[in-house]
Homo-oligomer: A and B are copies of this chain.
Amino acid sequence: MIVEIAEAAGRDSVDGLVAACFGHPGLTTWEVRADGRRFVAVSGDEALVAGDPETCAGVIAVHPTTRDGYWLVARESGLRYDVQVGGVHVGAPTTGMWLAAGPCAFEDEADVLRIAKQVRDQGAHALRVGVYKPRTSPYNFQGAGRAAFASLRAIRSETGLPIISEVLDPHDVHALAEVVDCLQVGTRNMSNQALLTALGGAPVPVLLKRGAGAPLAEWIKAAEYVVAHGNPHVIMCARGITSFDTATRHALDLGAITAVKRATGLPVVFDPSHSTGDVRLVRAASTAAAAFGADGLLVEAHDAPHTMYRPGDGPQAFPPAGLAELVETAGRVRELVEAADHAA
């Protein structure tokens, strides 16, 4: 349950509301602001709520969350969040097709800097590069970690590009947020609620990848976690889903792009690299996502994939020199489809 309270409501009113309605031990409350408005969020079964919160002093409206499990990110809430990464509005018409690109993992400062410059010169809005790498095996490279923080600062400073990087541990959120401009939640951690809750307190936006086996509603509720805990700057990132099919690495969840945009006001981008695992399909997948209305692309790019620590990842790395053309094609396709849809 989300209860909107008046801007002017005093501590007494809020305490009174909580005492009157949400005193049951199965309920917890906290305050949250979103789109310039003020709310009391309530976790716990709505059957445990006492009385009628609508009648309490200072209460403007009560929004049940039983059916969907989310409200702050719902299109029907009417709340809008302007999500910016390094000053660029993701999902805004003026931005066009947003592009973040870069190497899978931070390995060597000189390499990343060289790629970052190419990425920037191709018109990308942000650099993606991982310093904490989620791996299924403990014997795979786990990322450079804090040792790379100084390099990230230097690269950002030299290129002017904002940086997107994945975070795995809730307790790394604040330190990493000092050296990057957007924190990524990877597919394996979409339902890691301790991490999502911590990201609610992050001073930078969150790029939230869909879990490979996650129903759409769970993905949206994961976004609601971040927003409900104080950070309304969430970018949704579709990246393919698990199926019985092995023709490509993942089944493309393109319909989910449209579905999330219908259900919420959040920007939705697409990862053509991890969804296909095949650089030969990156342009097709980028274009297809654009046709479904994607607001941007998150592309793994490397100019010398054979030098990577895990050469096995090379086959999905897109050449930086082709990025401008890639995003321009995708942007034109999105315009073509939108124009035709509007004309119809």
A residues sitting closer than 8 Å to B (CB atoms) are: 1-2, 25-28, 41-45, 47-48, 65-66, 69-70, 107-108, 134-142, 144, 168-171, 188-189, 191-195, 197, 211-218, 221-222, 224-225, 228-229, 241-248, 251-256, 258-259, 276, 280-281, 283-285, 287-289, 291-293, 309-311, 319, 322, 325-326, 329, 332-333, 336-337, 340-341, 343-344
Contacts and interface: CB of A to CB of B under 8 A. Distances in A.
Number of this chain's copies in the assembly equals 4
A256 B252 contact: no
Contacts of A28: 141-142
Contact of A283 (B170, B283, B337): B337
Give the 4 A-B CB pairs with smallest separation, nearest first.
A213-B213, A248-B255, A69-B137, A288-B288
A211 B192 CA distance: 12
Contacts of A245: 215-216, 241, 251, 253, 256
Nearest to A292: B284
18 contacts: A26-B107, A134-B193, A136-B218, A137-B221, A139-B228, A170-B194, A188-B191, A188-B193, A192-B192, A213-B242, A283-B344, A284-B291, A287-B333, A288-B292, A325-B343, A326-B340, A329-B336, A329-B337
A17 to B, nearest CB: 16
Given A287-B337, A344-B322, A212 B215 contact: no
A169 B168 contact: no
B341 A25 contact: no
A2 to B, nearest CB: 8
Nearest to A30: B138
Nearest to A241: B245
Q: Which of A191, A252, A325 has the most CB of B within 10 A?
A: A191
Contact of A255 (B70, B141, B168, B276): B276
A119 to B, nearest CB: 16
B287 A336 contact: yes
Contacts of A289: 288
B211 A213 contact: yes
Given A27-B141, A169-B194, 6 more contacts: A138-B221, A170-B194, A241-B244, A243-B251, A245-B256, A247-B253
Q: Which of A245, A247, A256, A336 has the most CB of B within 10 A?
A: A247
A213 B212 contact: yes
Nearest to A228: B138
Contact of A254 (B139, B284, B311): B284
B252 A255 contact: yes
Contact of A25 (B48, B107, B211): B107
B43 A140 contact: yes
A276 to B, nearest CB: 6
A139 B42 contact: yes
Nearest to A344: B322
A309 B107 contact: no
